[in-house]
Amino acid sequence: MDPTLYKDTTLSRGFNYHYYYSPAKDSKSTILFCHGFPSTSRDWRFSATYFQEKGYGVLVPDMLGYGGTAKPVDPAFYVGSGHARDMVDILDAEKLDKVIAVGHDWGCRVVSRLAAWFPERIAAYAFLAIPYAVPNPVNDYEEYLKISKAKYGYELFGFFEFLSAGDAERVVFDHLDAFCAIIYPNNPDAWATNLAPLGALRRTLTSDYSAPRPAYWTEEDKRIFKETFREHGLKAPLCWYKVQTSDFSAQDDANVPKSAYFPPASSPIFFGAARYDRICLPSIGLDVFNADAFKDHKVTMKEYDGDHWMIFSHADQINRDLEAWIIGL
């Protein structure tokens, strides 16, 4: 990604956002890419380059708490309505009326809340690894852990508890190589034992877990990752978890009108599932989009032979499928 195409702007909530922007050519659509944890806009380098070369507009922010963007450490700032407002402020700054929104990981929650609060600004929605997140005005994190353990044999999101803890940043930086080996798994099945269950991430980190890095994540990627987060810290990124394990997210979702709980039926949806993701299970996404709430939507679903980080390992295939879907719009 060309470093000269990065911009900075201060938005209505008072936060500076650092983002990559390449304008569309020949009346083509602009695509907004929203990354997740623990990432920066660099996660979209393969997709940004692909679509930019095809003449599409490409808009890729460092999400709140990451990279060159502001890093507030109050979880209250990380609610869905706030993220949605920030994205629309960037669209306004670039005089963009409508975009196609693409999310991965936590970026999918941002795309979901754009559907709730600003559907008139989004032409179509794409979700990678994680499906659409229906507004939930109840903080049921602990109950969900019990349900997922009973259904799948382990708590799918037990690691939220550690990442919400006060000492999480210190523990991660004390064992940063182990953190890299866990987050970017050589063996995707390791997530079911070393990351997802309650208490597993802390135990795995403090035991200085080690594993070969996956082929899709190079030594250069690892170096940049470590340098980036040593420079900027993790306190702000961890707020993406704290907002979920506290009441902030539920209270914010309580403000979403019931009529806005789902994207407009006229808006096409793309869902890309990661076959070997042991936390964001493909079946969860398929259940969401096969539900009655989406029976009138035009939903395109694909499955890729990768783990959670398929946007690296299967970037070429995903980009081709996304482009075919966009052309079909």
Per-residue model confidence as pLDDT tens digits over 244-284: 999 999 999 999 999 999 999 999 999 999 999 999 999 99
Query: Within this chain, do residues 195 and 219 fall inside the same structural domain, yes or no?
Result: yes
Return d(Cα 291, Cα 286) in angstroms, integer: 8
Mean pLDDT confidence for 129-149:
96
What percent of the chain has pLDDT above 70? 100
Same domain, 260 and 128: yes
Pick from 244, 161, 156: nearest CA to 197: 156
Q: Are residues 235 and 275 in the same domain?
A: no
CA 13 distance to own-chain centroid: 21
pLDDT tens digit sequence for 48-76: 999 999 999 999 999 999 999 999 999 99
- Shared-domain flag, residues 169 and 72: no
Of the three residues 193, 214, 245, the one that is the final residue of a domain is 245
185 with 133, same domain: the answer is: no
Of 184, 218, 245, the domain-final residue: 245
pLDDT given at position 302: 98
> Is 251 a member of any domain?
no
Query: What's the average model confidence in pLDDT over 173-179?
Result: 98
- The CA distance from 251 to 256, in Å, is 10
> pLDDT confidence of 294, banded at 50, 70, 90?
very high
Give the structural domain span for 84: 3-138+256-328
pLDDT of residue 86: 98
Q: Are residues 90 and 29 in the same domain?
A: yes
The total number of structural domains in the chain stands at 2
10-35 pLDDT tens trace: 999 999 999 999 999 999 999 999 99
Question: Per the domain annotation, does 250 fall within a domain?
Answer: no
Find the mean pLDDT for residues 203-222: 97
State whether 134 and 153 are in the same domain.
no
Pair (100, 203) in one structural domain? no
| Claim to verify: residue 91 and residue 131 sit in the same structural domain | yes
Whether 301 maps to a domain, the answer reads yes
User: What's the whole-number average pLDDT of the chain?
Assistant: 97
Same domain, 131 and 153: no
What is the spatial distance between Cα 33 and Cα 58, in angstroms, rounded to a whole number? 8
Sheet with 299-304: strands ordered across: 6-10, 16-22, 57-61, 30-34, 99-104, 122-128, 269-274, 299-304
Domain CATH number, residue 79: 3.40.50.1820
Please identify, among 220, 245, 270, the residue that sits at the C-terminal boundary of a domain. Answer: 245
Q: How confident is the model at residue 288 (pLDDT cuts 50, 70, 90)?
A: very high
Q: Do residues 64 and 77 make contact, with C-beta atoms less than 8 angstroms apart?
A: yes
What pLDDT shows up at residue 182?
Answer: 98
pLDDT on residue 134: 97
In this structure, are 26 and 120 located in the same domain? yes
Looking at residue 247, its pLDDT comes to: 96
